[in-house]
Amino acid sequence: MRVKKRKMWVMPVYLLILCMILAGCGQTDGQNDSVNRDVKAENGSENGSDPGSDLTSDVTSDVDDSGNNEENIPYEYKEISLTFPAAWKDRYVIKEFENGAGFSVYQKASYEEEEGWGFLFSLGIEDEPAYDIPGGEAIAYTENSMYCLSYPTDVPYDYENREIASDYADMALSLDIIKDSIQIAGEGVHDNPEEYVMPMSECYPLREDMLLNFDDNHLMLARNEIYARHGYHFKNDFLTRYFDRYSWYEDRGDDFHEDQLSQIEKDNINLIKEMEEKYAAKHPYPMEEAAGMTIYADLDGDGTKEQLSYEVRQVGEYEEHGILTIEGKTYDLWGYENIYMESPDREHFYLTDISPYFDGLEIAVTEEGPSDDPATHFYIYEGELAYIGSVSGYPMKQKENLNGFHDGGITGIERQSLIETYECYASWWYDYENRELVYQDVGYFEIVPGRVHGLLTDLPVYTQMNEDSPAKILKAQDQVFFMATDGKEWLLVRGKDGTEGYIYITDGVIDVVNKPADEVFTGLMFYD
């Protein structure tokens, strides 16, 4: 389950190609209120990069054809400063917003063909929290402002011109470098909004319209986030592990009192609670039902409720059979569609509504599984019981801490093993036409908050899952966390200091330092 979206700064080349195929040229975000004038940028001073580091030298400098180091190009806008790569010289155009609240950057070759083309990114200054930024992300905030980057949501250049298209793609590869160079001057600047569900919730009165697009998981985390800012000690182990991954959280044990909360924070907590209640009223499923009890529910969506019950019966010395009884007919789930449950839940079963746009509900039965590999099995009833698929883990908020049901799909938890065994959020979509749950291999899986590791050595980490992407140094430290993986060769690692990046792994060896994983990280564990 992706409890917090990770936004990619660089538009990957494959996505650019896909956009070229699927979409036509069009206007892009951040260009309607630009002033039609160029802003000249001058060359800056020495950047202080370390020429001895092959991994990091390309982050801060470029080399021209003659072999001479070229200086990066500084740009300042009000309290914002950043640098463009030297290789961008004479290749970009900056347009400042007429309202004085930001600027957009364009590829010059496209912009000269048609005003507004070649959009690379914009940096806007909002005077209130911006929690839903199409194609963008917040990069910093203060008590009164939020600084947001926006990216292209369409093909923003003349893709039929190979030279222009190639030039744009080349410039896009440097956007991570530019992002890392951004600095906001002034007091009280927080440069880590990506570590919060709702940055500014400690200092800005929230409104209901700001929270309309948040689901119950994000609302729950945002409410607890306000307490976490004050070092609140959570009795819920999941919340402790979730917040511990972020640089700002410090568990202060019992050293917390409600009077530490400001009135703004108290009001925001109450509003979020109200929104949670409204969300729950509109989304009553999954609904936990007691085993052994007879209930009534409209399973097939025909307006008439069916009578059903569920129980677990011991058969022989080892077998436990889940038994569903619907409208007086009994279904033994042992071996049903070749599913043989181990340790099925004796206490509960569930009614779910995976696709609320279609009629009918599903029946879900859970099992602990072999070697503590739990699973959830789904059935529909339309005069007869039909199995539609299984999900690893428990997607029910009653059994886990998060709600794994979203319109048309389910998020469960599966194991991945790269340099240790960890649990990842994985997704299944409901193919309503074929009545089956289909696993989605998206190539990127967020890791369920889990163990903390020590990092024994300074470790270069990449900004993307690409060894040609820029790298930064994750310093040796006592607390690092595994955040995401492709399940094959890449792992996203975050330090308690807030630094994060990807490492590439081959047969248990961290390639960039050519060391086995257990010589780089402490606390690695594998499960059978």
Percent of the chain whose pLDDT exceeds 70:
87
Model confidence at 69, pLDDT cuts 50, 70, 90, reads: low
| pTM for the whole structure | 0.84
Comparing 130 with 494, the larger pLDDT belongs to: 494
Average pLDDT on 199-213 reads: 95
**Together in a domain, 121 and 161:** yes
Query: With 60 as the cut, is the pLDDT of residue 58 above it?
Result: no
Residue 76: exposure state from Cβ atoms within 10 A (0-12, 13-18, ≥19) = exposed
End residue of a domain, out of 282, 309, 330: 282
- Measuring CA to CA, which residue among 190, 170, 192, 174 is closest to residue 82? 174
End residue of a domain, out of 184, 213, 240: 184
Model confidence at 154, pLDDT cuts 50, 70, 90, reads: confident
Residue 357: exposure state from Cβ atoms within 10 A (0-12, 13-18, ≥19) = exposed
16, two tokens: 């650019």
The whole-number pLDDT of residue 341 equals 95
End residue of a domain, out of 282, 307, 329: 282
Hey, CA dihedral for 172, 176, 180, 184, is it positive or negative?
positive
**What distance in Å separates the CA atoms of residue 75 and residue 73, rounded to the nearest whole number?**
7
Contact residues for 67 (Cβ-Cβ < 8 A; gap 6+): none
**Together in a domain, 222 and 79:** no
**Together in a domain, 117 and 165:** yes
**Together in a domain, 224 and 302:** no
Does the residue 43 lie in any domain? Answer: yes
**Together in a domain, 49 and 152:** yes
The whole-number pLDDT of residue 423 equals 95
The whole-number pLDDT of residue 46 equals 35
Percent of the chain whose pLDDT exceeds 90:
76
- The structure tokens 């009001």 sit at 267
Average pLDDT on 318-327 reads: 95
Average pLDDT on 200-204 reads: 96
**What distance in Å separates the CA atoms of residue 137 and residue 148, rounded to the nearest whole number?**
6
Model confidence at 64, pLDDT cuts 50, 70, 90, reads: very low
Q: Are 157 and 25 in contact (CB under 8 A)?
A: yes
The whole-number pLDDT of residue 219 equals 97
3-state secondary structure 42-72: CCCCCCCCCCCCCCCHHHHCEECCCCCEECC
Number of domains making up the chain: 4
**Together in a domain, 93 and 168:** yes
- The structure tokens 């330090």 sit at 495
Rg (CA), the chain: 26
Does the residue 436 lie in any domain? Answer: no
Domain limits for position 232: 205-282
**Together in a domain, 37 and 174:** yes
Q: Are 363 and 288 in contact (CB under 8 A)?
A: no
**What distance in Å separates the CA atoms of residue 39 and residue 16, rounded to the nearest whole number?**
27
Write out pLDDT tens, residues 165-179.
Answer: 999 999 998 998 899
**Together in a domain, 109 and 239:** no
Residue 12: exposure state from Cβ atoms within 10 A (0-12, 13-18, ≥19) = middle
Does the residue 51 lie in any domain? Answer: yes
**Together in a domain, 26 and 144:** yes
Does the residue 396 lie in any domain? Answer: yes
Average pLDDT on 373-380 reads: 96
**Together in a domain, 158 and 19:** yes
Average pLDDT on 442-462 reads: 96
Average pLDDT on 28-54 reads: 34
**What distance in Å separates the CA atoms of residue 463 and residue 484, rounded to the nearest whole number?**
13
Q: Are 85 and 174 in contact (CB under 8 A)?
A: yes
SS3 426: strand
Q: Are 37 and 56 in contact (CB under 8 A)?
A: no
The whole-number pLDDT of residue 469 equals 87
Does the residue 386 lie in any domain? Answer: yes
Write out pLDDT tens, residues 106-152.
Answer: 999 999 999 999 999 999 999 999 887 778 899 999 999 999 999 99
Q: Are 336 and 390 in contact (CB under 8 A)?
A: no
The whole-number pLDDT of residue 400 equals 86
- The structure tokens 């690695």 sit at 524
65, two tokens: 């054809």
**What distance in Å separates the CA atoms of residue 236 and residue 239, rounded to the nearest whole number?**
6
Does the residue 515 lie in any domain? Answer: yes
The whole-number pLDDT of residue 135 equals 81
- The structure tokens 């800056």 sit at 44
- Measuring CA to CA, which residue among 173, 135, 120, 174 is closest to residue 7? 135
Angle between helices 216-228 and 237-244 (to 10 degrees): 70
Does the residue 413 lie in any domain? Answer: no
Neighbours of 73 (CB within 10 A): 18
3-state secondary structure 87-129: HHCCCEEEEEECCCCEEEEEEHHHHHHCCCCCEEEEEEEECCC
Model confidence at 528, pLDDT cuts 50, 70, 90, reads: low
CATH number of the domain where residue 232 is located: 1.20.58.1690
Comparing 66 with 386, the larger pLDDT belongs to: 386
Average pLDDT on 484-495 reads: 96
- Measuring CA to CA, which residue among 259, 262, 258, 240 is closest to residue 250? 240
**Together in a domain, 275 and 301:** no
Does the residue 6 lie in any domain? Answer: no
- Mean pLDDT of all residues in the chain? 87
Model confidence at 206, pLDDT cuts 50, 70, 90, reads: very high
The whole-number pLDDT of residue 290 equals 98
Give the DSSP H/E element, type plus range, for residue 237.
helix 237-244
CATH number of the domain where residue 462 is located: 2.30.30
**Together in a domain, 144 and 274:** no
Comparing 369 with 49, the larger pLDDT belongs to: 369
The whole-number pLDDT of residue 352 equals 97
| DSSP category for residue 344 | B
